[in-house]
Amino acid sequence: MTLSLTLLVATVAVAIERPAVAVLYFDNNTGKPELDVLQKGFADMMVTDLSAVQEIQVVEREKLQALVDELKLQRTKYFDPATAQKLGKGVGAKFAVTGAFLAVDPQMRVDIRMIEIANAKVVLGDQVVGESSKLFDLQQQLVNRFVAGLNVKLGVVARSKTRVPDIGTLLEYSKGLDLADQGKLDEASKALAEVIKRAPAFGLARERRDQILLRLKEAAERRKDALSESGETLMKDAEQFLQERKLESLSTQEAGHYLGYRQIKGRFILRALRQHLSKNHPHPVLLGHEPQALGLIQGFAANARALMDEHRLADRKHSQVVNGVSYPRVSYQLPQEDQRRATESKLGSVGTPVSPELELAQFLILGRANDGEHFTISPAPGVLSAPLEKEGFALVEAAFAELRKKSEHQQHFAHMAAESLDTWAEALLLRGKLEEAVAKWQQILDTWPTGTSFERYERRIKEELGLPGTNAAYMEGVEYPSKLEACDEWGIRKGIDNALHQAERRYGIPGIKVVMEEFDKKCGSNAELRRRGVVNYVFKSGALASASHGDCASYQALMQKYLDTGGSKGDLDGYNRNWAPHCQK
């Protein structure tokens, strides 16, 4: 043993800083096949404890499992140096730890090796023997011997995670891991819940169960966004109908089906777009997904343009004139069976828009979308593409002109004309053009002074101008820029969340960085704000906003600033566990 450790120390001394170590699955040589699954649980415990050694990098068990699946090595003997070398190379490790159970009851014997990947040389070999009921102590003996040979320190905290009481508990834990590896997440979650009941102090079981619950939640969200079999049938029906028929030759009912299928095609595109957006409001485009998102946005816009042209064509052919006023007779609809499929796929019911031009404008300059459920895209598509921006503002102007003209003969169009001006105003405000936005809202008040929405738009103007009587919570956001200039403690505390939301709405995920950099530049070094905990509060707010949209790099960086400016390490552990478990290793 002394010679082996000497060799190991000599080997590690010339190794690169923080060598990567892969803990392979331990072979079951007991002659009891029902114990095969122990290999995963024991390896997971070793990985967890060795991960506390700062001087080495330990390969995650999940990465090893992915390679085992890829190479179809589930039944391989990992104790073999050649196999260890193959797997070690596959996961980029410098050393591989292998082991084998030779006996379990009444005493447990485990043989271990550490192999240098470059030459398959065994640089450490040893064994531990002891009572199976003291499994935790045996496993710790192994860890301590590796650590002693490496001449490094083991973190105390990690040890408590792996405190498994007996071999039976480890067996059940290993079964839970194996179920998770097979993709049976529901069964794995239930199995690990039973392990926690059996051994409440087994912290690693709790940690793995929480990770599986997070995976279940993410899988449920993906299923929600994915198309069902009936949805795929509907999509094929829509494409076939649109390709095989000419709108100008269809009856009134068939024209309604044609427009309904065109509308549903747009919802299919938006459903695909959701895969590239954050699940959380205001649904910003995920980092790294910008090209895919823009491609789908342009596809939706092209489909919407086709719908506008077809809507006008159907109106001209199928409208009915009464007292000199033209009334369209075509209603967007789907055949009964396909409407059932649309409802089943959560794509909603199709409906005849008052103004397809206004709907496309709202998508392009405000990011409003509907795939059966209304949601917002940030930044608005026009921010991602200058031509789409120009098109959106031209469309909202044209929609207002047309709806205003129609409202002179048909009063119910007045509401939609006002909505087009409101859309225009919100888009201007989103781009920082306050005075122009207020002018559009004022145009609504001047045009329809007795309208039912008069008070709503008057209140909107007061909110943006910060006049008395406006909503206090909204004013916290409006006043944030001036409070930031003055490094005002309570103005910053109250307004930071609103400022982050508005920046996400305007710029997407990068908007969080804009707010954080602006705050750091103006108030980050303010001694009084640091002393009163405002600075670390702001960095924590930005970190949590980043984590909510999957930007883990920004989360980690901002949480480091949180700690550097007086944030609590204990609170950070809570944020990691409860708010950003997906941003942990």
Which of 564, 560, 561, 559 has the alpha carbon at shortest distance from 575?
Answer: 559
Residues 155 and 232 in one domain: no
Residue 432 lies in a domain: no
Residue 460 lies in a domain: no
Domain final position from 109, 139, 162: 162
Range(s) of the domain holding residue 492: 474-583
Q: Radius of gyration (Cα) for the chain, nearest Å?
A: 31
246: Cα separation from own chain's centroid: 42
Please report the pLDDT score of residue 155 as a whole number: 46
Q: Between 29 and 519, name the one with better pLDDT.
A: 519
Q: Percentage of residues in the chain with pLDDT exceeding 90?
A: 47
Give the residues across from 58 on adjacent strands: 21
Residues 8 and 156 in one domain: yes
Say which residues have a Cβ less than 8 Å from residue 191's Cβ, sequence separation at least 6: 172, 175, 176, 179
Please report the pLDDT score of residue 81 as a whole number: 64
Which H or E run contains 316? helix 290-318
Read off the pLDDT of residues 198-230 as tens digits, 9 standing for 90 and up.
Answer: 888 888 888 888 888 888 877 766 555 555 678
Residues 346 and 248 in one domain: yes
Domain final position from 115, 130, 162: 162
Point out the least confidently predicted range of 25-39, 282-296, 356-370, 518-532: 25-39
Domain final position from 352, 373, 404: 352
Residue 11 pLDDT level (bands cut at 50, 70, 90): very low
Residue 314 near residue 333, CB atoms below 8 Å: no
Read off the pLDDT of residues 545-568 as tens digits, 9 standing for 90 and up.
Answer: 999 999 999 999 999 999 999 999
Q: Between 296 and 86, name the one with better pLDDT.
A: 296
The count of domains in the chain is 3
Q: How far apart are CA 204 and CA 159, in angstroms?
A: 10
Residue 128 near residue 142, CB atoms below 8 Å: yes
Average pLDDT of 368-383?
A: 95
Residue 431 lies in a domain: no
Q: Percentage of residues in the chain with pLDDT exceeding 70?
A: 86
CA distances 216 to 186, 207, 310, 546, Å, are 7, 14, 43, 22
Q: Is the pTM higher than 0.85?
A: no
Residue 379 lies in a domain: no
Residue 578 pLDDT level (bands cut at 50, 70, 90): confident
Which of 292, 270, 281, 285 has the alpha carbon at shortest distance from 507?
Answer: 285
| pLDDT of residue 259 exceeding 50 | yes
Residue 445 lies in a domain: no
Residues 240 and 130 in one domain: no
Residues 149 and 234 in one domain: no
Residue 499 near residue 523, CB atoms below 8 Å: no
Q: 358: exposed, middle or buried (C-beta count within 10 Å: 0-12, 13-18, 19+)?
A: buried
- Residue found by looking up tokens 């303010």 in the block: 526
Residues 126 and 240 in one domain: no
Residue 12 pLDDT level (bands cut at 50, 70, 90): very low
Residue 290 lies in a domain: yes
Q: How far apart are CA 4 and CA 479, in angstroms?
A: 68
| pLDDT of residue 114 exceeding 60 | yes
CATH code at 54? 3.40.50.10610
